[in-house]
Amino acid sequence: MSISIEELSHIYQPGTPSEKIALRNITLEIKTGACIGIAGQTGSGKSTLVQHLNGLLKPTSGRILVNGINVTTGNLSVLRKQVGIVFQCPEQQLFGETVCKDIAFGLSNLGLSGSEIEIRVREALRVVGLEDDLLHKSPFRLSGGQKRRVAIAGILVMRPQILVLDEPAAGLDPQGRRDILDFIGKLHKQSGMTILLVSHSLDDIVRLAERVVILKQGAVAMEGKTRDVLNDLEALENAGMSVPPITILMNRLKKEIPELNDCLLTVEEARNELKRVWKMKTGVNPSC
């Protein structure tokens, strides 16, 4: 499902003393099945942008087409079945007595039979990597990472074609961050759905996103393939972004080791590249 954003602008409280321009003439094309990262500092317009994708916000000017549906004039009930948004810290919105009831809540108005609802709930739970024995437990007795997965399952149960994840790793411990990002990567590969990852941290999205859009003060500051964006350190700094530590390290090593490929996204890629260069220079396979 493709997304076409054309000259999108959004102003909060226009014509009042509190008027604020949140988005400025944003034009983007997102292809069906892509995994896109949207990054920027707090207040850059990231959340405002994605809330336009299922009609939670309407453009002040410009337009958005989601698989041909105009967000301003189209059928919002249809659109919201196709675009699921998981907001920051979604576990704070859990309220069901059990995991099953929480996940099933969104299905209550679809006229589905009890058996069909159960099938969908169990399917969504498996997709997020949780076991059926959690279905009848209180969501409030789960770990932080499990709660977040239950919240995501509550969106996936609607079978959206586009999934927007706003700060999916926020507030989790290091292991929880790795687990949730690994899950998102696996979900994208297995489902083929279009995924938008929103974060103020490039570390959280560069390992998953094939393209990155960086916003600054409501406008697109950078946009392109992830490796190309990371390779432009000056532009990243001008956009107010913290460059991932592994990118800084490899860039510095490149000055001392010209043979090194410094356009890498993960620690694992960097480790393999250093092993390659070591073997090339010494003829010996490193043991680590």
Per-residue pLDDT tens listing for the chain (288 residues): 689 999 999 999 999 999 999 999 999 999 999 999 999 998 999 999 999 999 999 999 999 999 888 999 888 888 888 999 998 877 777 888 899 999 998 888 787 888 899 999 999 999 998 888 899 999 988 888 888 889 899 999 999 999 999 988 888 888 888 888 888 999 999 888 999 999 988 888 888 999 999 999 999 999 999 988 988 888 998 998 988 888 888 888 888 888 887 777 777 888 888 888 888 878 777 766
pLDDT at 14: 92
CA distance 188 to 249: 29
The residue type of 54 is N
Q: What is the pLDDT of residue 180?
A: 87
Work out the burial of residue 100: count CB atoms within 10 Å of its CB; fewer than 13 is exposed, 13-18 middle, 19 or more buried: buried
pLDDT recorded at residue 288? 61
CATH of 3-243, one of 3.90.1150.10, 3.90.1150.110, 1.20.1090.10, 3.40.50.300: 3.40.50.300
pTM for the model stands at 0.86
Strands 35-40 and 211-216: parallel
The 3-state secondary structure of the chain, one letter per residue = CCEEEEEEEEEECCCCCCCEEEEEEEEEEECCCCEEEEEECCCCCHHHHHCCCCCCCCCCEEEEEECCEECCCCCHHHHHHHEEEECCCHHHHCCCCCHHHHHHHHHCCCCCCHHHHHHHHHHHHHHCCCCHHHCCCCHHHCCHHHHHHHHHHHHHCCCCCEEEEECCCCCCCHHHHHHHHHHHHHHHHHHCCEEEEEECCHHHHCCCCCEEEEEECCEEEEEEEHHHHHCCHHHHHHCCCCCCHHHHHHHHHHHHCCCCCCCCCCHHHHHHHHHHHHHHHHCCCCCC
pLDDT at position 224 is: 95
For residue 258 the two structure tokens come to 């010209």
CA 88 to chain centre: 10
Token duo for residue 31: 């292809």
- Distance, C-alpha 118 to centroid of its chain: 27
Question: Looking at residue 1, what is its pLDDT?
Answer: 61
Q: What is the pLDDT of residue 287?
A: 67
**Alpha carbon separation from 287 to 246, 253, 267 (Å, rounded):** 21, 20, 17
- Tell me the Cα Rg of the chain: 21
pLDDT at 269: 82
Residue 283 is predicted with a pLDDT of: 76
Domain residue spans of the chain: 3-243, 244-288
Residue 284's CB is within 10 A of a number of other CB atoms, namely 8
Residues 50, 197 contacting (CB under 8 angstroms): no
45 phi/psi in degrees, rounded to 5: 110, 5
